Structure formats: structure tokens, C-alpha cells
């Protein structure tokens, strides 16, 4: 399933035109927190997996 197909399926769940500014801001903050959390997990994993070869 391509990205555009997924987008079309999810579109009804994310009708931003009907959301209030507060709802939009809260959704944006939640998305940013999710991204930061997963970026931190990825970064920690990189350090854990890194082995110094001598």
C-alpha cells in the first residue's frame, strides 16, 4: 500500500478543517513529543550498539 493510499484512508480521521485551534495545537504538540521521544530512543540505541573496535 503506497503512501497516498494510506493518506486517503486516514483522511476522514484527520479532518483538520473541523478542529478548533486548541485541538490543532494539542495535536501538533503531541506529534512533536512523539517525534522527540522516538528520536531519543533511536539515538540511545545508536550509542548502546556502538562498539569501539581496537
Question: CA 14, CA 42: separation in Å to the nearest integer?
Answer: 27
pTM above 0.85, yes or no: no
Band (38; pLDDT cuts 50, 70, 90): very high
pLDDT, mean of residues 42-53: 84
Please state, rounded to an integer, the average pLDDT across all residues of the chain. 82
Band (3; pLDDT cuts 50, 70, 90): low
Residue 27 in contact with residue 19, Cβ under 8 Å? yes
Residues of the chain with pLDDT > 90, as a percent, come to 37
The domain ranges of the chain are 15-54
Amino acid at each position: 500500500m503506497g503512501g497516498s493510499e494510506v493518506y486517503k484512508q486516514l483522511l476522514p480521521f484527520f479532518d483538520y478543517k473541523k478542529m478548533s485551534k486548541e485541538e490543532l495545537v494539542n495535536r501538533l504538540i503531541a506529534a512533536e513529543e512523539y517525534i522527540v521521544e522516538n528520536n531519543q530512543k533511536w539515538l540511545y540505541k545508536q550509542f548502546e550498539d556502538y562498539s569501539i573496535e581496537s
